[in-house]
Structure 1
Amino acid sequence: MQQRPPSEPALWPHQVGLIPPVARSFQHRALADRLHTGINGSGTAVLTGMGGVGKTQLAAEYARTAWERAAETGGLDVLVWVTASARSLIVTEYAQAGVELWRADPSDPEKAARSFLAWLTPKAGAKPCRWLIVLDDVTDPADLRGLWPPASPHGRTLVTSRRRDAALAAHGRHTVEVGLFTKDEALAYLTSSLPGPCESTDELTSLADDLGYLPLALAQAGAYIIDTGETVATYRRLLADRANALSEMAPDALPDDQERPLAAAWSLSIDRADALRPAGLARPLLQLTSLLDANGIPKEVLTSQPTLAYLAAHRTRTGPYQAPAPGQVSPEDAKRALSALHRLSLIDHNSPTAHQAVRVHQLIQRATRDNLTRHQRDQTARSAADALMAAWPAIERDAALAQMLRVNTAALANSTEGALYWPNVHKVLHRVGRSLGESGQASAARDHFQHLAQTTRQDLGEDHPDTLAARHDFAFWRGRAGEAAEAATASAELLEDRVRVLGPDHPDTLDTRHNLARWRGWAGDAVSAATVLEELLEDRVRVLGPDHPDTLGTRHDINFWRAQAGEAAGAATVLEELLDDQVRVLGADHPDTLITRNNLATWRGRAGDAAGAAAALEELLEDRVRVLGVHHPSTLTTRHNLATWRRTAGDAAGAAAALEELLEDRVRVLGPDHPDTLITRHDLAYMRGEAGDAAGAAAGLEELLEDQIRMLRPDHPDTLITRYNLAYWQGKAGDAAEAAAAFEELLDDQVRVLGADHPDTLRTRHNLASWRGKAGDPAGAAAAFEELLDDRVRVLGADHPDTLDIQRHIAYWRGKAQPGPPLPFPFQ
C-alpha cells in the first residue's frame, strides 16, 4: 500500500528519526563543550575517530541538548537524525523528513529527499527555520554526494564517521577528532557502572589501562563482569591470557543497544579499507602492525623490502571476481595502504613524533591477531622480524630510531608465543640485545641475553648452535656490565662445549677463546690475557687468514693487554702498524678502525705526548661525527677522551668546560643515570680536585657514589673506582684518618670482588699505607709497603715501574710519606 503525504506539514518544533538513548553511566566529556562551541548557531562539524570511541553518544548528547532547548533562543525548530551507513538510508530519512515537513511525494524517495534539502535552503522573506541534521555513521563519503545539507545561517549539520577523507573536511567543515577516554573519565565510568564498592581504584584504573581507555571496551567489560559476577581481577586475568579471544569475553547481551561485540567492531572498517586503492593491501598490513608496538611503529619498518614481500604474498581478494593485482608491491603502495587504514581510523598515521609514524590501538591489534591462525601468526611474526632487521641500520646514528626498533622488537616477541625461536632463533633477538649494549645499557643487554640463553636451552636444547650463541652473548655483556670474573668463568665453560660441539677451529669457538682472554684481563690477569690471545692469533691466522677482521681484532687486543701488563713501550708503534692494515682491509671509516685510532691516541698520551693525543682525538672526533653521528655514544666518548687529554696537556679550564658541555649532551641523549653520564660526572669532580678544590671534589664524588650504587650496584668496577677517588680526595681535603678508614673498607670489597692480585686492589693497598702514614702511623705505613712489595714482585716482577715505586715509598716512610696519585677511570 502506497504511503500518502500528510494533509498538512508538521508543526514546529518537529523531530524526524530517533536519537539513540543515553548510554548507561554516560560520561560527559570536555570534547562535548568544544563541539557546542564549534557549531553554535550554524555550521557543519564532522566527528571522526576509531570505532568504539563514542562518536554517536557525543552526537546524541549534542542533539538532545539542542532539542531540549527548542523553546529557548538558539534552540531548534527541526531535528532530523539519520542513520547514514548507506546512501539508501540517507535518502530514505531525507524523504521521510520531506514528507512530514513539506508534504513531498513519498512515492519518489530521491525526489522527496532533494525537495527536503531545497526546503532547508534559506529563502528571502520566509520565516527562518532553525534546524539540526545529524548524519550518524557515514561509512563512505561518496554516499553524501549531492546530499549534504545546504549552508544556512540558521542550520547546523553534525556528522559522525570513522572516515578521515579530505572530502568530509571540505568547504570549511569543522573536524573534531574523538579520542579515547582520559584516565579520569575511564575511572569515573567504571566506578559508576560497576555495582558495589568492592573494587579498588587501583584495580579499576588497571582495567581501564588494559582496555586502552576505549569506551566501547569498557562498556562491554562492565557488562560481562556484571553478568558473570566475576571480579575485575578475574576479568583482567582472562584478558591477559592470549589464549582467550576477545569474542570469548563479550557479554551475552550487549549493553546500550550496541550492535556488535568488541571483537567485530572493526571488521566492516577493515573490509572497506581493504577495498580502497591499492586494493587488498590494507588487511595484511594491519595484520603486520598488530604484532608490533601499539604506541609507534617506524615508517622504515612498514616500507621495508620484507614488508613489501609479505604484502605481495598475502594480498587479499577484495571481491568475488577481483583477483589481486599482479607484480610486486612498491613502497608507495605500502604508504597508500597505510593511508587507507588511517582514513578508516584503524591506525593513526600522522604522528608528529619521529619514528612513531604509525599507531594502532591495542584492542584493534588484539582483534586482528585473534583472526589469524597459529600458522598465519607465526608466518606474520617472522616477516615482521625480517622487516625490523631490514630497517635496523648497521651503525645506529639515530638514537630515537634505535630505541623504537628495540621497543617494537620487544612487542613482537611478547605477542608471538615463541615464533621467533622456531625453527631457529631469529637474528632480530640478537640484534636488539646488541643495540641495548651498544647504546650503553650493558646491564639490560646482559639480562636480555640471559633470558635468551634460558629460552633457547629450553626450546632448542643445550647443544643447539643458537643456545651456544646466546650463552656467548650473555657472557660478553655480563663482562661489559662489570662482572668480569663471572664472564671469564662463563666463557671458560662455554669454550668446552663449543670445542665439543663445533670443533676447535670453528669461528665461534675462536670467538669464545678471545672473550675468555678479554675477561681474564679485565678481572685483573693482564699477563694471562695477553698469553691466551697470542696463542689464539696463531690459530686465527691459520684458520681465517692474516687479514680477517677477527685476526686484526686479536692483534689489537694483544697489544692492549701487553701494555696493561707493563709492556707499554712500543704500544703506539704496534697500533700504527695495525691501523695501516685495518685501513687497507676494512676501510678508514670502519668502527674497528676508529677504535684503533682512539686507542692509538691514548697510548701516545700515556707515552708522554698529551698534546699529540689531543690533536689525534680532535681529528677522530670529526670522523666519528661524520660516520656515526653527533649523538652516537662512541662520538660522545671521543669528546670525553679529548677533554681528558686536553687537561693533561695543560688546558684544565678548556677541558672542564668541554666536560660540562658533554655532561649536558649525555644527560639529554643517554639519560642522567647512564654509565657514561656517571663517568663524565666523575671526571668533572676529579678535575675540581686537581684545580685545588679537594673538598668540592669529595662532595661531588659522594653524590655520584649514591647514584652509582643505585644504578650500577655496590660491587660494579666504576662504583669501586669512585670509592677509591672519594677516599683520596677526602684525604687531600685534610682528613687523613677518614681517608685511611675508607681505603681499608674498600680493600675488603676489592679483595672479595676483584681478587687480591688485581691491579686496583694493589693500588688501594698502596694508598691505604700512605694515608696511614699521613694519619700519624709512619711505622705501620712502612710495614704495609714492605708486605705490598712482595706481592708486587710476585705479580708484576721486580723491574715493573709500580714495583720500583714501592721501594721508594718504603724508604720514604721510614721518614716522611706521600700518598699515591688518584685512580683515573680506564680510558674509554
Structure 2
Amino acid sequence: MQISRPGDDAVPPGPFRDLVDRLHDLYLLAGGPSARTISSAIFKNRLLEAVSHETYRAALKGTYLLSWPKYLSIVAELNRRTPRPRAEPEILTEFQTLWTLAQQDYRTLRSGRGLPSPPRAENGSRPVRQLPDRNTWFTGRRAALIRLRNAFDQHPTATVVLHGVNGTGKTQLAAEYAYRYPDDYPVTWWIRCASADQARADLTDLATELGLADGDRSLGALKAYLGSPNLPYLLIFDGVEDRQVRGLIPNGGGHVLVTTTDRELAYDTSMIEVEVLDFGPDEAAEFLERRLPESTDSERTEIIELAGRLPLALDIAARIDLETLRDSHAPSGPLVGTVRAVREILSPDHRRILDLFGWFGAAPVPMALLQRDGTVKGRVGEILANPIELRIALRELANYGLVRLGAHQVEMTAPARQALVEIIPAGDAEVAWHHVHEILARTRLGPPGSALAQGYRDIDAHLQPARLVESDNPNAQHLIIDQIRFRALDGDLAGAADLARSAVEQWQRPGSLGPDHELVLRARVELAAALRGLGAYAEARSLASAAVRQLQTSPAYGADHELTLAAEVGAALDLLMMGRYTRAVDAQRKAYERSVAALGSAHPRTVDCRRSLAASLRHAGQYAQAADLDQHDFDRLTASDDAIDAVRVAFALADDLTGLGRFEPALDLLDQYTAKGTRLIGDHDPGVLAAVRTAAAVRRRLGRPGALDELAALHLRCGELLDQAAPQMLAVTLSYANALREAGRTSRAEQLIIDAISAYERRLSDRHPLAVVARVNLAAVHRAQGQWPIARQLGQRAAEQLRRTLGADHPYAIVAAVNHATDLALTGDRAGAVAASRSAYAVADRVLGPEHPDTLAAGTNLALDLVAVGSADEPLRESMLAGWTKLFGEHELVARFARGNRVECDLDPWPM
C-alpha cells in the first residue's frame, strides 16, 4: 500500500514541509517502494546507515525530523530506483541543504504548533524498532532461544553475550530472538559494532528516534534514559570486537544482547554467556531441507560432509550445485598460501604445536586439556607439560592470526584449520594425529553425569575431527564409550547414535577389537538405546535382541553379566515401545531380580533395572507396585546428596501417585521438585517438561483454574524443542486437547487429537495402545460436539481394542469402558448402559479402589443409569458424592454431579 503524503494539518508549510514533499516526490518517482523493500536494501548496503521500516514511513509522513545519515540512506536508495538516477553527490547535496533548513523550522513547530514528538517507550506510543530483515531460512536453535529467554527472565539487568566463531549464526539468532518477542520491548534497536564509531552513530540515531538531546549530548541523554528502572527495551550490539564498545553498553531496566567472537568478553560478573555452536546434525539436515526442498537425503548428507555444520558454510553451499561443491571443497587461494607461509617461518617446536590443531575441531580447546599430565611423547610432550613454553607458542600463533588465545582456551577458526590440514606434509600430519589421540585419550573424566558435563562438552567437538574411533589406544576407546553415553544423557541422541555406529563399524574390522569384544558390545547396546530414543524402534529391537543373544550365550559374559543385564533392560524397553506392557514387566522383573542377586541392590546397574521396572509397571497400570519401587529410591536419595537423581525419582513417584488417584500428594511433589529440576537441569529437560505436563493435567482434573493456560504454554514450548511426532510431544498434545475440549474449544481439540493419532500410527502402529488411547479422547470430543453415534462407534472399538491388548483391568481399558456406557446411554440403550456401567464400576472398584476418581466416575454414571431405568440406588449416589467432595471440596464439579450430570472421562497417557 502506497504511503500517502501528509496534509497541511499534520505538517504545515515551511522548510520542514519542503523536505517532506521533496522526499515524497522522489519516493513516487522510484515507484513507491514498500518500507520493507527499502529497509532491507539499505541494511544490506554496509556503506549506508540502517533505517527501520517505521523510520522510513516516518520520514515520508513527516512524523518527525530524522538525523541526516538516515535521510542520506533513504535518498540514496530511492534515487537508485528511479528510471533515470541523478548523480549521487548532486542529489545528496540538494537534500542535505533542505535538511539543514528544516532543523530550526522543526524545533519551532514542535514547541509552538504541537508537532508530534518522537515515540517514547514509556508513554504507550508505537514501538521504536530497528532490526535487520527476518531470516526466512532460520532453522533450529530451539534450545539456544530458550536459554536466551531464561537468562533474561532470571537476570533482568544482566547483559547476555552470544559468543562463538565466525559463521555460527550469532547475528541471525539475536535477530530471531527480537522477532519472537516484539510485544515485550517498546524499544528494540540494532547497533552495528564493527567499530566504536559505528556503534556510537547507531546509538545517536536511537537517541534521535526517542526525541532526546541533539548532537554531542545525545549519548549522555540516552544513557540516562536507558538507565531508568523498569524500562523495557532490547538493545542488540552486533559484532562486538572493539573493547571500546564496552563503555557504550548501558545498564538499566532493559535487556542487552551482545554478539561476539570474543569468548572472554563474557568473563564479567555483570554478563551471562551463551555459546553458539555449529548446527547439530538434525538442524543442519533441516536447514538444507528447507533451503533445497528438491534435494535428496543423500545429497543433503553429502553437502553436510563437505561443508560441515557451520550455518554460514551451509548457506553458501546451498547456493551452488553439488558438483561445484565437490570440486572446490579443498581450501585453496590466499588463505592456504598464508597459512603455509606462516608455518614455514615458525620454529620447529611451534610448528609441531600448530600441527595439533589440524586434528582438533573448530571449537575451543581447553588449556587444561593441553596441559593435563599425560603420556605425550617427545618434544611436544615437553612443551605441553611446561605452561610457560606452551603459552609462548600459542601466543605466537595468535599473533599471526591463526588462533584466538583466551585465558582458559585456545581456538582455531574452521577456515584456518581447513587450510592447515591442506598444507601439512603427510608425515607431520601423522605425527600430530597420534599426539592428539594421546592428548584426548588421557581425558578420563569418570562416569558420564551432570557433574562432569562441561568436561565432556569441552572434548566432544574434537572427537570426530581427530578420528578418535580409529585410535588403538585403550583409554581412547573407553573415552568413546563414555562420550556416547554422555551424548545420550545430554539429549543429543542423534550424536550418540552417530558416534556409536562409527565405533561399532571401526572396532569390528579385522585387526581391531573384533565383534565379540566388550567395548563393541557396549557400543551396540548404546546404539540401540539412542535409536530407541530417536524413534527408530525396529532397528533398535533388532540390535538389542542380537546383543542379548550374543551376551547370554558367550562364555565371557553370560546371563548375569552387567552388560547382559543392560542389554536385557533395553530389549524390555523395546517391548514397552511395542505396547506389550505385560511382557515388558516380566522381562524387566527378571532382569532386576538377577541384577540384585549378581550385583547387589545398590549397584548402579541394579538401580537402572529398578527404575526401568517401575516405568514398565506404570505403563502396565500397576501403580502401587511402581510406587513401592520409586518410594524406596526416593527415600534413599533424599537422604543423600544425589540432588538430580532425587528430582528424577520424585517425578516418577509423582506419576505413580497420579495413577493411584492421589492427586494432592502428587502435586505437592511436583510443585516442590519441578522448581528444583528447573534450577538443576533446566526447564528444557525432558523429565522437567514431563513433570510440568503431569502437574497441569492433575490440576485440570481437580478443576483448578489456569490449567488450560499452563498446557497451552507447555505445548508451545515443546513444539519449539521437540519433533512433532516425539512421544513426549504427543503426550502433551493429548493433555492440551483434553483441556481444550473441557473449555468448549472442540474443533481445535479434534484437530490436535487427529494429528496425534496419525503420528502414533506412523511411528508405532494403528493398534498400539497409545494410538487407541488417543481415539478414546477423540470419542470424548465427538460426544461434546453432540455427535453421539460417531462417538459410540469410535469409543466401542477403542474399548474392545484396549480390553483385548491390555486386559480389562488396565486403567486405560477401565476409562474406555466407563465412556462406552455413557455412549450407550446417550444413544438410547438404557439397559445396555446399566450393564456396561455396572461392569465398569465393579472392575474399577476392584482394581483402582473405591476412592479413585475413575471409580467415582464409573459409580456416578451407574447411579444415573439406574435412575433412567427406574431402579435408583440412593446409597450409591450419596457414596459417590461423598467421594467427590473428599477429592474436590466445595467445588462446582461436585454440584454438577449432584444435579445429575454424567462424568466425562479422558486419558493423559504416560509418554514413552
TM-score of the aligned structures, taking structure 2 as reference length: 0.49
Residue 495 of structure 1 aligns to a residue whose secondary structure is helix
Q: Please say if 1:643 is aligned against 2:696.
A: yes
The answer for the alignment partner of 1:692 in structure 2 is: 744
Q: Please say if 1:289 is aligned against 2:357.
A: yes
Residue 676 of structure 2 aligns to a residue whose secondary structure is helix
**Residue type of the partner of 2:470?**
A
1:652-691 residue pairs with structure 2 within 5 A?
652-653=705-706, 655-663=707-715, 665-666=717-718, 676=728, 679-691=731-743
Residue 414 of structure 2 aligns to a residue whose secondary structure is coil
Cα pair 2:757 2:774 within 8 Å, conserved: yes
Cα pair 2:366 2:458 within 8 Å, conserved: no
Cα pair 2:443 2:479 within 8 Å, conserved: yes
Over 3 Å counting, the alpha-carbon distance change for 1:495 and 1:669 in structure 2 is closer
Cα pair 1:705 1:719 within 8 Å, conserved: yes
The answer for the alignment partner of 1:600 in structure 2 is: 653
Quick one: which of 337, 343, 349 aligns to 1:280? 349
**Residue type of the partner of 1:578?**
D
- 1:592 and 1:36 mapped to 2: Cα distance? 55
Q: CA deviation at 1:826?
A: 0.3
Q: Please say if 1:628 is aligned against 2:681.
A: yes
Cα pair 2:724 2:730 within 8 Å, conserved: yes
Q: Please say if 1:269 is aligned against 2:328.
A: no
Residue 591 of structure 2 aligns to a residue whose secondary structure is helix
- 1:565 and 1:582 mapped to 2: Cα distance? 25
Residue 695 of structure 1 aligns to a residue whose secondary structure is helix
Quick one: which of 360, 373, 396 aligns to 2:414? 360
Cα pair 1:342 1:349 within 8 Å, conserved: yes
Residue 304 of structure 1 aligns to a residue whose secondary structure is helix
- 2:808 and 2:541 mapped to 1: Cα distance? 16
- 1:269 and 1:759 mapped to 2: Cα distance? 72
Cα pair 2:441 2:475 within 8 Å, conserved: no
1:473-484 residue pairs with structure 2 within 5 A?
473-482=526-535
Quick one: which of 402, 405, 408 aligns to 1:346? 402
The answer for the alignment partner of 1:302 in structure 2 is: 366
Residue 547 of structure 1 aligns to a residue whose secondary structure is coil
Q: Please say if 1:328 is aligned against 2:381.
A: no
RMSD: 5.9
Over 3 Å counting, the alpha-carbon distance change for 1:811 and 1:709 in structure 2 is same
The answer for the alignment partner of 2:600 in structure 1 is: 545
Over 3 Å counting, the alpha-carbon distance change for 1:373 and 1:768 in structure 2 is farther
The answer for the alignment partner of 1:426 in structure 2 is: 477
Cα pair 1:303 1:334 within 8 Å, conserved: no
Quick one: which of 656, 671, 675 aligns to 1:618? 671
The answer for the alignment partner of 2:786 in structure 1 is: 734
The answer for the alignment partner of 1:224 in structure 2 is: none
The answer for the alignment partner of 1:519 in structure 2 is: 574
Residue 608 of structure 1 aligns to a residue whose secondary structure is coil
The percent identity for this pair of structures is 18
- 2:752 and 2:829 mapped to 1: Cα distance? 30
Cα pair 1:688 1:697 within 8 Å, conserved: yes
Max radius of gyration: which structure? 1
- 1:642 and 1:739 mapped to 2: Cα distance? 28
**Residue type of the partner of 1:645?**
V
- 2:532 and 2:410 mapped to 1: Cα distance? 33
- 1:456 and 1:715 mapped to 2: Cα distance? 39
**Residue type of the partner of 1:468?**
L
**Residue type of the partner of 1:328?**
A
Cα pair 2:818 2:836 within 8 Å, conserved: no
**Can you list the C-alpha shifts for 1:711-751, whole angstroms capped at 9, x where unaligned?**
99989987665555345424432334554666699899999
The answer for the alignment partner of 2:96 in structure 1 is: none
Q: CA deviation at 1:509?
A: 1.4
- 1:658 and 1:813 mapped to 2: Cα distance? 35
Q: CA deviation at 1:617?
A: 1.7
Q: CA deviation at 1:491?
A: 3.3
Q: Please say if 1:823 is aligned against 2:907.
A: yes
Q: CA deviation at 1:824?
A: 1.0
Residue 450 of structure 2 aligns to a residue whose secondary structure is coil
**Residue type of the partner of 1:291?**
W
The answer for the alignment partner of 1:554 in structure 2 is: 609
TM-score of the aligned structures, taking structure 1 as reference length: 0.54
Q: CA deviation at 1:680?
A: 3.7
Residue 654 of structure 2 aligns to a residue whose secondary structure is helix
- 2:661 and 2:800 mapped to 1: Cα distance? 34
The answer for the alignment partner of 2:434 in structure 1 is: 379
Q: CA deviation at 1:698?
A: 1.8
Q: CA deviation at 1:269?
A: 1.2
Residue 349 of structure 2 aligns to a residue whose secondary structure is coil
Residue 524 of structure 2 aligns to a residue whose secondary structure is helix
Over 3 Å counting, the alpha-carbon distance change for 1:652 and 1:454 in structure 2 is farther
Cα pair 1:482 1:716 within 8 Å, conserved: no
**Can you list the C-alpha shifts for 1:412-468, whole angstroms capped at 9, x where unaligned?**
44xx7x525777973454455445544556567556645654554456433222332
Cα pair 1:396 1:628 within 8 Å, conserved: no
Which ranges in structure 2 are unaligned for 5 or more consecutive residues? 1-41, 50-240, 243-260, 262-298, 309-319, 870-900
Cα pair 2:718 2:729 within 8 Å, conserved: yes
Cα pair 2:340 2:420 within 8 Å, conserved: no
Instruction: Tell me the number of residue pairs that the alignment of Structure 1 and Structure 2 aligns.
Output: 570
**Can you list the C-alpha shifts for 1:215-273, whole angstroms capped at 9, x where unaligned?**
xxxxxxxxxxxxxxxx9977765666xxxx98xxx8xxxxxxx9x9x76542231345x
Residue 463 of structure 1 aligns to a residue whose secondary structure is coil
**Can you list the C-alpha shifts for 1:283-329, whole angstroms capped at 9, x where unaligned?**
445434323444xx0x3x4323356558964656xxxxxxx966824
Quick one: which of 561, 572, 584 aligns to 1:506? 561
- 1:411 and 1:613 mapped to 2: Cα distance? 47
The answer for the alignment partner of 2:662 in structure 1 is: 609
Structure with more contact order per residue of length (Cα contacts < 8 Å, sep ≥ 6): 1
**Residue type of the partner of 2:399?**
R
Which ranges in structure 1 are unaligned for 5 or more consecutive residues? 1-29, 38-164, 167-176, 178-202, 213-230, 251-257, 317-323
